[in-house]
């Protein structure tokens, strides 16, 4: 069945969803995006995603395509038109259409706005049952990873390198410390039960799932340490996991061929996933 896609004000069949070849998203990767998960036809952590979108736009001096209320209405209409029960809504804003030039187009050039839905199993997943295997790769991305831009070539290459090594995903390493996963935040659990994940800054994306999960961890009485950790510390950890809008909380059972803990999904990660899902279902809109 053909999807209905939103393009610059219109809801159209996907075959008719078109943007200009002069769009700066296409020519310069001059765009930002958000991915919001849908469960039971409802949006998870919508306000958080919109707050981060506003921040990404502001950091790049890019005009907002619409206000939050209008964006919510578009998300909901797309979910409804596509009969989406479980999956995600992808939103992309670019600096719009202009002759190719490194300088930004004149102020007032309308931004482009595209949204589409994608069906995806998020609650029940094979990777959650078995845990994922991680390969470590150098972090060769630009230095403003806190801005959610569509420059995703290196993360794609990192993921392919991990796959070539028989792994599920990559964790990226810079100056001897883990930054994050190719499309997720990275965590370890120490043998005395502390949850460690890289502190916020320009080196990582400020995950919306990260913020929620760390909050739930503290509420559950767990100790959280926001600091960088090394590959060696990760390999010696009791547990490891990732978070993202679509992975929620997913266990890591192997890093660069080294088994983590028992080599099976650990107790802390299972507990955090259960809490996160319960809260997501309760607060989705």
Q: Does 244 bind ligand PDD (CB under 6 A)?
A: yes
Longest Cα–Cα distance in the chain: 58
Identified binder of ligand PDD from the candidate list 149, 197, 209, 268, rule CB under 6 A: 209
One DSSP character per residue, 169-229 reads: EEEEEETTEEEEESSSEEEEE-TTS-EEEPPSSTTS---HHHHHHHHHHHHTT--EEES--
* Nearest-approach distance from CB 98 to ligand PDD, in angstroms: 26
Cβ atoms of 47 and 283 closer than 8 Å: no
What are the CA-CA distances from residue 67 to residues 6, 29, 53 (Å)?
16, 23, 11
Footprint of ligand PDD on 6-65 (CB under 6 A) = 35
The least CB distance from residue 154 to ligand PDD, in Å, is 10
* Closer of 205 and 255 to ligand PDD (Cβ): 205
Segment 153 to 182, residues that bind ligand PDD, using CB under 6 A: 180
Residue with tokens 């259960």: 274
Active site residue 148: yes
Neighbours of 188 (CB within 10 A): 23
Query: Measured from the CB of residue 255, what is the shortest distance to ligand PDD in angstroms?
Result: 17
**Minimum distance from CB of 272 to ligand PDD (Å)?**
13
* Of the residues 183, 197, 268, 280, which one makes contact with ligand PDD according to CB under 6 A: 183
Verify binding: residue 205, ligand PDD, rule CB under 6 A: yes
Binding residue for ligand PDD, selected from 208, 249, 252, 269, defined by CB under 6 A: 208
Q: Are strands 185-189 and 239-244 parallel, antiparallel or unpaired?
A: antiparallel
Judged by CB under 6 A, which of 31, 210, 266, 269 binds ligand PDD?
210
Told to check if 149 binds ligand PDD by CB under 6 A, we report no
Q: Of 42, 119, 148, 159, which residue is the catalytic one?
A: 148
Write out the binding residues for ligand PDD, residues 59-118 only, by CB under 6 A.
Answer: none
Q: Please, which residue, 98 or 172, has the CB nearer to ligand PDD?
A: 172
Nearby residues of 109 by Cβ (< 8 Å), 6 or more positions away: 63, 95, 96, 97, 98
Binding to ligand PDD by residue 197, rule CB under 6 A? no
Minimum CB separation of residue 147 from ligand PDD in Å reads 11
Q: Is residue 141 classed exposed, middle or buried when 0-12, 13-18 and 19+ CB atoms within 10 A define those classes?
A: buried
Structure tokens at 181: 């996963």
280 binding ligand PDD? (CB under 6 A): no
Question: Considering beta carbons, is residue 33 or 98 the nearer one to ligand PDD?
Answer: 33
Question: Cβ of residue 33: shortest distance to ligand PDD, in angstroms?
Answer: 7
Closest C-alpha to 226, from 182, 251, 180, 195: 195
Residue 246 interacting with ligand PDD (CB under 6 A): yes
- Three-class SS of residue 54? helix
- CB-based burial label for 277 (10 Å; 0-12, 13-18, 19+): middle
Instruction: Give the interface segment with ligand PDD, choosing from 53-61, 66-74, 131-139, 200-208 (CB under 6 A).
Output: 200-208
* Cα–Cα distance for residue pair 239/133, rounded to 1 Å: 12
Which residues here bind ligand PDD, judged by CB under 6 A? 35, 180, 183-185, 205, 207-210, 243-246
Q: Which residues are catalytic?
A: 148
């Amino acid at each position: 069945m053909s999807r209905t896609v939103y393009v610059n004000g219109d809801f159209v069949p996907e075959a008719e969803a078109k943007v200009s070849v002069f769009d700066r998203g296409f020519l310069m990767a001059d765009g930002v995006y958000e991915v919001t998960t849908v469960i039971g036809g409802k949006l998870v952590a919508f306000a958080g995603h919109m707050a981060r979108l506003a921040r990404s736009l502001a950091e790049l001096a890019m005009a907002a395509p619409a206000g939050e209320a209008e964006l919510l209405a578009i998300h909901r209409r797309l979910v409804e038109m596509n009969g989406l029960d479980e999956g995600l809504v992808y939103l992309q804003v670019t600096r719009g259409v202009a002759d190719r030039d490194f300088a930004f187009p004149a102020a007032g050039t309308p931004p482009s706005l595209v949204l589409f839905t994608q069906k995806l199993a998020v609650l029940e997943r094979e990777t959650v049952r078995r845990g994922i295997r991680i390969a470590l790769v150098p972090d060769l991305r630009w230095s403003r990873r806190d801005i959610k831009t569509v420059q995703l070539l290196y993360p794609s290459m990192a993921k392919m390198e991990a796959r070539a090594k028989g792994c599920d995903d990559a964790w990226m390493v810079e100056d001897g410390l883990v930054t994050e996963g190719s499309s997720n935040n990275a965590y370890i659990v120490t043998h005395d039960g502390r949850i460690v994940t890289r502190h916020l800054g320009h080196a990582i994306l400020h995950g919306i799932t990260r913020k929620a999960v760390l909050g739930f961890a503290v509420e559950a009485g767990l100790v959280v340490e926001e600091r960088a950790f090394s590959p060696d510390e990760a390999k010696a950890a009791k547990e490891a996991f990732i978070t993202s809008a679509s992975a929620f909380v997913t266990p890591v059972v192997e890093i660069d061929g080294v088994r983590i803990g028992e080599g099976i999904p650990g107790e802390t990660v299972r507990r955090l996933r259960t809490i996160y899902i319960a809260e997501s279902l309760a607060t989705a809109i």
